[in-house]
């Protein structure tokens, strides 16, 4: 049994971590922090936890940091910029750290400072961080002390592109043209639990809009994933555009590419099935079957459909996931399982909720 702490447990990813870790047979949640809710039982704020967890929120003070250093793993479900203030002391104490924010995702300090509007507090430690996408980085995660949990959109994009980029790396010529278009949609929970007029029921319901049209901070993370994680031998121009849809949770990304003659000669349906045949949480749909977001609701599953049109030299990959589970807390638990040598699906192998 390992001892876990969750820093910042009042947001949607925090409550998902409590839900998932409470059911994990090898984990005890021994500390839960929140400055605003210190002294309050978690099930008073989240009645869904009644009978599941009686843990009480603590303030993150000096005494709490000493307690964190006694844990085996600390999850940061906090705003960007918080984990990097504590990660160095924790890792020096031998504690494994999983950050669900962006502090340890981008290896480029220039990109981090540009998109997150702050300087990095521990750039040397950043160099040791492992990007927490098990289907790509499983071997590195097994020995990791510090993990940057991926963003929700990049998870769909990188896993949606992985078989294509890896297939292309084996060829001397291009299989797809350089331009990739990622048209992505997410439910409102992706924006977090803070009060905001734009997320008000009357504002978001019966409405559908694009946002960050001029550029989204997940774009450099997607570009890093394609260039570094997937070791692309070719340059790609990626256009990423997110949209807010009037649902609570769920994410769908449509990835559009133009095939070359060499690319059209490949059966991409079979290529995707082969690439993910051994992956528990990636499900490649049968040819002609397309997933919807409710098919993964509240689960750690990610489903992929492939549509190849050789008459038009087009390839479309559709990826769905629950943005709070595989896109956040579930993936963090999956990373923890790899880091501690547990079965990767432990505490996560449950069916999606329908309806």
Give all strands of the β-sheet with 314-321 in edge-to-edge order: 209-210, 237-244, 176-186, 251-259, 314-321, 302-309, 282-284
Q: What pLDDT is attached to residue 247?
A: 93
State the angle between helix axes of 268-275 and 152-169 in degrees (0 to 180), rounded to the nearest 10: 110
Q: Give residue 195's pLDDT.
A: 62
All structural domains of the chain, each given as residue ranges with its CATH number in brackets, are 2-128 (3.40.50.720), 153-323 (3.30.360.10)
Selecting among 129, 152, 285, 302, the annotated active-site residue is 152
C-beta separation of 261 from 243 below 8 A: no
Mean pLDDT, range 294-316, rounded to an integer? 98
Supply the pLDDT for residue 246: 93
Bridge partners of residue 181, in order along the sequence: 239, 256
Inform me whether the pLDDT recorded for 89 exceeds 80.
yes
| 345 pLDDT tier (thresholds 50, 70, 90) | very high
CA distances 80 to 37, 64, 293, Å, are 19, 20, 27
Bridge partners, residue 32, by sequence = 6, 57
Strand partners, 23: none
CA nearest to 229, candidates 107, 325, 314, 85: 107
pTM for this entry: 0.95
Least confident of 77-81, 150-154, 186-190: 186-190
Residue 198 has pLDDT above 80, yes or no: no
Q: Active site includes 152?
A: yes
Task: List the one residue out of 260, 252, 345, 327 whose CA is nearest residue 295.
Answer: 252
Q: How confident is the model at residue 216 (pLDDT cuts 50, 70, 90)?
A: very high
Tell me: pLDDT of 61 over 80. no
pLDDT at 194 over 80: no
Sheet holding 96-99, edge to edge: 57-58, 27-33, 2-7, 73-76, 96-99, 146-148, 130-131
Q: Residue 62 — pLDDT band, cuts 50, 70, 90? A: low
């Amino acid at each position: 049994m390992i001892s876990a702490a969750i820093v910042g447990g009042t947001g949607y990813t925090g409550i998902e971590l409590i839900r998932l870790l409470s059911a994990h047979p090898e984990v005890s949640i021994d500390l839960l922090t929140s400055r605003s809710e210190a002294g309050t039982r978690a099930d008073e704020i989240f009645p869904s936890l009644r009978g599941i967890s009686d843990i009480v929120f603590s303030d993150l003070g000096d005494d709490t940091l000493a307690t964190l250093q006694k844990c085996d793993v600390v999850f940061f479900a906090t705003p960007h910029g918080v984990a990097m203030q504590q990660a160095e002391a924790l890792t020096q104490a031998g504690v494994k750290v999983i950050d669900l924010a962006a502090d340890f995702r981008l290896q480029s300090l220039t990109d981090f400072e540009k998109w997150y509007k702050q300087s990095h507090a521990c750039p040397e430690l950043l160099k040791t961080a492992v990007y927490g996408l098990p289907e790509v980085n499983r071997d590195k995660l097994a020995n990791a002390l510090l993990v940057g949990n991926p963003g929700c959109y990049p998870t769909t994009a990188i896993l949606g592109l992985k078989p294509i980029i890896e297939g292309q790396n084996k060829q001397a010529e291009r299989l797809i043209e350089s331009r990739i278009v990622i048209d992505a949609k997410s439910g409102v929970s992706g924006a977090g639990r803070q009060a905001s007029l734009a997320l008000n029921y009357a504002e978001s319901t019966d409405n559908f809009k694009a946002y960050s049209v001029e550029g989204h901070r997940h774009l450099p993370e997607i570009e890093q994933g394609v260039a570094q994680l997937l070791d692309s031998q070719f340059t790609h121009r990626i256009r990423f555009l997110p949209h807010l849809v009037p649902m609570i949770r769920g994410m769908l990304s449509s990835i559009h590419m133009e095939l070359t003659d060499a690319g059209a000669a490949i059966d991409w349906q079979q290529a995707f099935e082969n690439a993910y045949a051994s992956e528990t949480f990636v499900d490649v749909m049968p040819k002609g079957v397309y997933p919807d977001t409710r098919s993964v609701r509240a689960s750690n599953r990610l489903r992929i459909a492939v549509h190849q049109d050789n008459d038009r030299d087009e390839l479309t990959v559709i990826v769905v996931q629950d943005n709070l589970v595989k896109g956040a807390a579930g993936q963090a638990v999956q990373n923890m399982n790899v880091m501690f040598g547990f079965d990767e699906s432990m505490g996560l192998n449950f069916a999606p909720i329908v309806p």
